[in-house]
Chains A and B, each alone.
Chain A
Amino acid sequence: MRYLVLRTENLSKDFHRRPALCGVTLEVDPGEVFGLLGPSGSGKSTLFHVLLDFIRPSHGQALVLGMDCQRNGLKVRRLVGYLPQNLTLPKGVTAGQLLERFAALRGGLEMAFAHDLAARFQVNLELACERLSAADRRKIGLVQAFMHRPELILLDEPSRDLETAAQLELYRLIAEFRAEGRSVVIASQSVSEMERICDRVAIFHQGRVIAVERGAQLRARAIRKIEMRFANPVNPQIFVGLSNINQLICDQNKVFCTVQGDPDALLKTASQFRVLDIISQQPTLEEVYQTVYGIPAYAA
């Protein structure tokens, strides 16, 4: 039988008769970066909470690193790193002291790797926790999630509040862990983040997994809003023939459109003219759900 880092079978959870998870079945392989994409309240964090035994499922089973996450909760949590969505840090201690406490809770870790991670994220460990910015608090959360080199890392909205440089550092770190054969599960509302770093992505909608897509598939189906400004007015007909272009609007020397997948053809066509500016925007989660899956992301 194939060894799976994470396996859930028909996992369901109701809160006050309201379903939070409905029959979620997922499999994560060793060395895989797996994404959970969905709007707020779609069940991503609830799934993490079940895996860490904060809450008990109404139905179904979850195995983490081959162990039942309820019966072997302690062993599971020893081998798993976790970054919560909402991180509350205590007052009256410095970030460095806090990391030492986290290390002590894991039975006493060598702090060298934690300091290395803190340096990579450029977080000042001398600062008191109450003086840390939202981004720095998130970085401390990331350091504590990675510092014991866990087999599986669960990250809930990891790049929220992070500046671009820290986001890139996080993606590099995830790639390094992946290369070492460790697995990372990321819950996020950001389509671009998912398509950028995940091998596979489970799309959540109202507690259900409506699709599991490969990262490349997601990239191919990704929709971008493009706005181009030319030096002179252009003939819109030259863009009409492009197969992956939608919602084309031409306004004298400006062209607005959406591109599904690769924008190569559009750019090559546009390059016949003098382009002054080009803006590419990621679609919102709502737009992706509507255009790709034909459903609203948020419950009515």
Chain B
Amino acid sequence: MRLDLFTDLWLERKHRFALWCITLVGWSAACALLFPVLADEIWIDALVERFNPNLDREAGYWLLMLPAFGLPVFGGAFAFLEGGRLFKGQAVRHSIAFLLAYPLPRWQVYLTRLAYLSSACFLLTVVGFLSASGMILLTGNSLPGGLFGLLPGTFLLVLLLGEVGVLIGILSPSFWLDWLAGLVFLFLLFFPFGLTAGADAMRYSPLFYALGESPLLGRVEIENLLVLGLFCAAGGLAGGYAFERLELE
């Protein structure tokens, strides 16, 4: 990885990143504003029941709206789109080709971009958790137990989505295919939890590996994190392999 290229990427993309941070903070604020209205809704009860029957309604509401739905969707969308944008589009491909006209190995260029993506995903996740906690406290509620225990899994999940974006950005020149793939991936994230088949179906969702078998429990499950970490490593390697073979026309 090259530090100068890494810094350049951050300088180049800081505004876009800031916009996503504001979106995430906005979502947390919206959840806090809607809390008095939604907390008594019956569907919130049903969702909390499905995800973790042991939780009380208040903690269930916050965990559902923030780490279970809010962060994976917003963070994942950011990571997926940003990952794709790091490698696709004519202007980006031209600037990558221009860099590669210098004596830089391809893996160095790839690793630098992946490092930027990882750091952005991590920062966005932290911003998400901090803003969520702030909003919960501001509304006079107490933080659900183990909220920050969900941070590592959420970060890895967001990163994995980013790596899928990278892979599709390298392999596909089609804009719509990317969006379609992103939507399918986000759907797959939550779909197994909507099935009544039980815990077996959950294992098809990356959310299970990020947040655990009972996602709202707020407990870190190391084995699951390791599996997710392995997925991330595999995603990173697959992206690197694809970039090594990428033809910059």
On A, residues with C-beta under 8 Å from B are: 15, 46, 49, 52-56, 74-75, 77-78, 80, 82, 84, 86-88, 90-93, 101-102, 104-107
Nearest A residue (CB) for B98: A84
Asked whether A49 lies within 8 Å of B248 as measured between CB atoms, the reply is yes
Asked whether B12 lies within 8 Å of A92 as measured between CB atoms, the reply is yes
**CA distance in complex: A54, B94 (Å):** 11
Stretch at the interface among B99-107, B134-142, B225-233: B99-107
Q: Does B37 contact A (CB under 8 A)?
A: no
Would you give the 0/1 interface string for B204-241, flagging 1 where the beta carbon is closer than 8 Å to chain A? Answer: 00000000000000000000000000000000000000
Q: Does B247 contact A (CB under 8 A)?
A: yes
Q: Does B249 contact A (CB under 8 A)?
A: yes
Asked whether A77 lies within 8 Å of B95 as measured between CB atoms, the reply is no
**Which of chain B's residues have a CB closer than 8 A to the CB of A78?**
103
Asked whether A105 lies within 8 Å of B102 as measured between CB atoms, the reply is yes
Asked whether A77 lies within 8 Å of B103 as measured between CB atoms, the reply is yes
**CA distance in complex: A90, B8 (Å):** 8
Asked whether A52 lies within 8 Å of B100 as measured between CB atoms, the reply is yes
Query: Given A77-B101, A92-B12, A106-B102, is A101 in contact with B4 using a C-beta cutoff of 8 Å?
Result: yes
**Which of chain B's residues have a CB closer than 8 A to the CB of A92?**
11-12
**Which of chain A's residues have a CB closer than 8 A to the CB of B123?**
none
Q: Does B188 contact A (CB under 8 A)?
A: no
Would you give the 0/1 interface string for B63-90, flagging 1 where the beta carbon is closer than 8 Å to chain A? Answer: 0000000000000000000000000001
Asked whether A104 lies within 8 Å of B4 as measured between CB atoms, the reply is yes
Give the Cβ gap from A97 to chain B, nearest Cβ, in Å: 10
Nearest B residue (CB) for A84: B98
Q: Does B180 contact A (CB under 8 A)?
A: no
Would you give the 0/1 interface string for B101-132, flagging 1 where the beta carbon is closer than 8 Å to chain A? Answer: 11111000000000000000000000000000
Asked whether A49 lies within 8 Å of B97 as measured between CB atoms, the reply is yes
Asked whether A82 lies within 8 Å of B101 as measured between CB atoms, the reply is yes
Asked whether B91 lies within 8 Å of A88 as measured between CB atoms, the reply is yes
> Which B residues, 1 to 24, have Cβ-Cβ distances below 8 Å to chain A?
4, 8, 11-12
Give the Cβ gap from A15 to chain B, nearest Cβ, in Å: 6
Q: Which of B11, B97, B102 has the largest count of A CB atoms less than 10 A from its CB?
A: B102
Instruction: Name the one of B4, B95, B105, B248 contacting A74, with C-beta atoms under 8 angstroms.
Output: B105
